[in-house]
Amino acid sequence: MPKIKAGVIVFPGTNCDRDTYYALKQTMGCEVDSVWYETKTLRKYQLIVIPGGFSYGDYLRAGALARFSPVMEALREYTEKKGLILGICNGFQILLEAMMLPGAMQRNDTLKFICKDVQVRVERNDTPFTLLYKKGDRIQIPIAHAQGNYYGSEQTLASLEKQNQIVFRYCDESGNTTEQSNPNGSLHNIAGLCNSETTILAMMPHPERASDSTLGNDEGRKIFLSIKKALS
């Protein structure tokens, strides 16, 4: 079986690209390229990851300036061919700004950057990104962002719920999606969304930081292993 080929997009200001690269290699054993933001085609990949960081310094709005990079054109073309896309943190913000997923990110309601472990509940396991989890699984995973407060209009939220596009929600230790367990004010405790075809997953928590037992937490590892299984 040929090795899976993955690309990790690097914008000016991206800073989780090396972490993500390492995690993909370690967990999926796939071939990984760093993909410079000026790249014009992504056809050779089966998985594209838009990693975390501060593309263009997060100036104006997180993700707003990255959205106009040449690679985003290539990404649109790539989605038409149903390639998988994983957007993590800044990647989520970029996908929203690019309108590849509905809604927008506001500043955390604490008005501060938050870096800590949170609990999220897996809402569905019929996506290529979550198939090794059980529905309702609770995983501990770090967040690190200043703008992760998801907003969608009422119609948007209704449609996300109806089409079952919410993949992860912030929850407490017992798996309940309470206000207390919501770190940033996200509506409906949204921590991760997919598109209706489930080829795109965007999430604020960082699975690449929870994929290695040396770091004390590998509960996010199954996201990469799920992708591997889905692509094999």
Partner 1 sequence: MLAKIFIKPKKGILDPQGKAVSGALARLGFNRIQDVRIGKYIEIKFDAGDTDTAQSDVRSMCETLLVNKVIEDFTFEIAEE
Partner 2 sequence: MDNVEKILKELNLTGDEYKKITGYIGREPNITELWIFSAMWSEHCSYKSSRPYLKRMPSSGKDVLIGPGENAGVVSIGDGLAVVFKMESHNHPSFIEPYNGAATGVGGILRDIFTMGARPVAILDSLRFGEPDDDKMKYLIDGVVAGIAGYGNCMGIPTVGGEIYFDAAYKDNILVNAMAVGVVPDDRIFLAKASGAGNPVFYVGSKTGRDGIHGATMASASFTDETAVLKPTVQVGDPFMEKLLMEACLELMKTNHIVAIQDMGAAGLTSSSVEMAAKGGLGIEIDLDKVPQREEAMLPYEIMLSESQERMLLIAKKGHEKAVEAVFRKWNLDVSQIGRLIESPEIIVKANNRVQARLPLTVLVDEAPVYTRYARMPVSVTTTATTNASEEIPEPKDYDSIFIQLLSSPTIGSKRWAYEQYDHSVGTDTVIKPGADAALIRIKGTRKGIAITTDGNSRYTYLSPYAGSGIAVCEAARNIACIGARPLAVTDCLNFGNPENPDVMWQFIESINGITSACLAMGIPVVSGNVSFYNETEGTSIYPTPVIGMVGIMDTLRERITPDFKDNGDSIILLGETLDECGGSEYLKLVTGKISGRPPRVSPEMEKRVIDLLHAMNKMHMVKSASDCSEGGLAVTVARCAIAGNKGAKLNMQWRYRPDLELFSESQHRIIITAAHKHVDKIKKMAQQNDIACKMIGMVGGRRLIVNNRVSVSVEDLRNAYHRGL
Tell me the closest approach of the beta carbon of residue 23 to partner 2, in angstroms. Answer: 7
Q: Is 145 a catalytic residue?
A: no
- For residues 93 to 112, the per-residue mask of contacts with partner 1, x marking binding by CB under 8 A and - elsewhere, is ----x-----xx-xxxxxx-
Verify whether residue 194 is a known catalytic residue: no
Amino acid in position 120: V
**What is the CA angle 29-33-35, rounded to 5?**
150
- C-alpha 154/C-alpha 182 separation (Å) is 19
From 31, 61, 102, 114, residue interacting with partner 2 (rule: CB under 8 A): 114
CB 124 within 8 Å of CB 167? yes
- Active-site residue identified among 16, 30, 206, 219: 206
Nearer to partner 2, 191 or 200 (CB): 191
Q: Rule CB under 8 A: is residue 215 a binding residue for partner 2?
A: yes
- Applying CB under 8 A, among 6, 9, 19, 186 the residue interacting with partner 2 is 19
Q: Which two tokens stand for residue 28?
A: 């999926």
State the burial class of residue 68 (Cβ atoms within 10 Å of its Cβ: 0-12, 13-18, 19+): exposed
- C-alpha 226/C-alpha 103 separation (Å) is 26
Indicate which residue of 16, 30, 89, 194 is catalytic: 89
Beta-bridge mates of residue 150: 105
Q: Residues 1, 80, 116, 180: which binds partner 2 (CB under 8 A)? A: 116
Residue 18 Cβ vs partner 2, minimum distance, rounded to whole Å: 8
Question: Would you count residue 57 as binding partner 2 (CB under 8 A)?
Answer: yes
* Residue type present at position 123: E
Distance CA 186, CA 190 (A): 6
**Phi, psi values for residue 163, rounded to 5°:** -85, 5
Q: Report 137-176 residues binding partner 2 (CB under 8 A).
A: 142, 144, 146
Per-residue tokens: 39: 């790249």
Is 89 among the catalytic positions? yes
Which does residue 103 bind out of partner 2, partner 1, none, counting CB within 5 to 8 angstroms by kind?
partner 1
Residue pair 194/100 in contact by the 8 Å Cβ criterion: no
Contact characters 189-208, partner 2, x per CB under 8 A: -----------------x-x
Nearest to 62 by CA among 102, 129, 13: 13
Positions annotated as catalytic residues are 89, 206, 208
Q: What residue ranges bind partner 1 (CB under 8 A)? A: 56-57, 59-61, 64-65, 68, 97, 103-104, 106-111, 149, 151-153, 185
Q: What residue ranges bind partner 2 (CB under 8 A)? A: 12-13, 15-16, 18-19, 22-23, 52-54, 56-59, 112-116, 142, 144, 146, 206, 208-209, 212, 214-216
